[in-house]
Structure 1
């Protein structure tokens, strides 16, 4: 699990491709402080496993499913990437719950200065993920935990403070660029609980007993949620 607080900007050193499989070697410093084989590091918001490392870089495998669902295929040698290690137990929870599982890529439609901030408007390529995006809720863009400003039928906006812009790859992003998007996982779990066809609410729990598959208002009231 990650929190969406970027630790450093790494540099893509080597990309080996074989069909839709990739092996990436990334130059880094801070995330290598206590790295071990098998550790998870989020690269532009994509949870990847360290398969080898040295004093100045680490290597990860990218499987075809990840290749198809993310913007990693668009990276080239020298590309900057956001890096974050998995959250340590007892660490500060500075952002929100980030799995490193990309829901959709998206296109930056505009980048607009607003006094000391920069407002990015983003259009997800999978419009269905917008049901999880709410004003003042959380969204992850290239691994960065951000707060949604507003939404419409096709896009959403975020406002970026100078520190976040300076410390992440957003400083290099412009209209037309592709980014990785991950919606807040809490909304996805709630939707699954409310729509799973084999579950029914009994005795304060959702159980697979062949009921209607809906959490009802009566159930929520009975169990103190309303």
Structure 2
């Protein structure tokens, strides 16, 4: 379980396509982010719940299975690319953001970016439009692991705004037109739409 509050920005420094068609990636950080980790621990990488397979204080490896490879943006990763990182929450920690599972539903593409005073506004085109019933104005959404509030929606798009803190503490501020992100809709919206089915 995660909150969608990014703790650290890491960089992809290893990409290995394995013989079993899985993917192995390595992530490095400027700080010793992984120093208190253990093999088997969960870390959310750009909204994807991944398991540490080996680590050092500044570096960790993760294996990515075929379903995750197909459903997320990991197949677009390049060496040096930034990723948002969050460790799974402890029961004793303060809970900010919203409940994020790390189970990516679909991807979305940036189709508009504009700045108004200190806020950066993004409009995203959703790959799987059947999920739009789970994306509502003033509702929560996780974009590449970052908990954000939806401003407005259309039949296949939604808009969010980034405050300066989010711009500087995640990699979302560097997004440009046509860039892809991982999307996880709010778990409460999932249950509500399931009940309507």
TM bucket (normalised to shorter chain) is over 0.9
What TM-score do the two structures reach when normalised by structure 2?
Answer: 0.95
**Structure 1's 30 and 132: CA in aligned 2 closer, same or farther, altered over 3 A?**
farther
Q: Report the equivalent of 1:22.
A: 23
Distance in structure 2 (CA, Å) of the matches to 1:30 and 1:97? 26
Distance in structure 1 (CA, Å) of the matches to 2:196 and 2:115? 40
Q: Which has the larger radius of gyration?
A: 1
* 1:163 aligned counterpart, secondary structure: helix
Distance in structure 2 (CA, Å) of the matches to 1:182 and 1:30? 28
Distance in structure 2 (CA, Å) of the matches to 1:194 and 1:48? 31
* 1:32 aligned counterpart, secondary structure: coil
Structure 2 unpaired stretches of 5+: none
* 1:102 aligned counterpart, secondary structure: coil
Report Cα offsets for 1:13-58 as digits up to 9, x if no partner: 1000137410011002353131011100000000000010012200
* 8 Å Cα contact 1:31/1:85 also seen in 2: no
Cα root mean square deviation, aligned: 1.2
* 8 Å Cα contact 1:139/1:183 also seen in 2: yes
Distance in structure 2 (CA, Å) of the matches to 1:41 and 1:2? 9
Deviation above 3 Å: which 4+ runs of structure 1?
none
Report Cα offsets for 1:48-98 as digits up to 9, x if no partner: 000100122000100000000000111111111100000111211110000
Q: Report the equivalent of 2:5.
A: 5
Q: Report the equivalent of 1:167.
A: 169
Q: 2:133 aligns with which of 131, 134, 137?
A: 131
Q: Report the equivalent of 2:60.
A: 58
Say how many residue pairs are matched. Answer: 195
Q: Report the equivalent of 1:198.
A: none
* 8 Å Cα contact 1:2/1:84 also seen in 2: yes
Q: Report the equivalent of 1:79.
A: 81
* 8 Å Cα contact 1:8/1:30 also seen in 2: no
Q: Report the equivalent of 1:156.
A: 158
Higher relative contact order (CA 8 A, sep 6+): 2
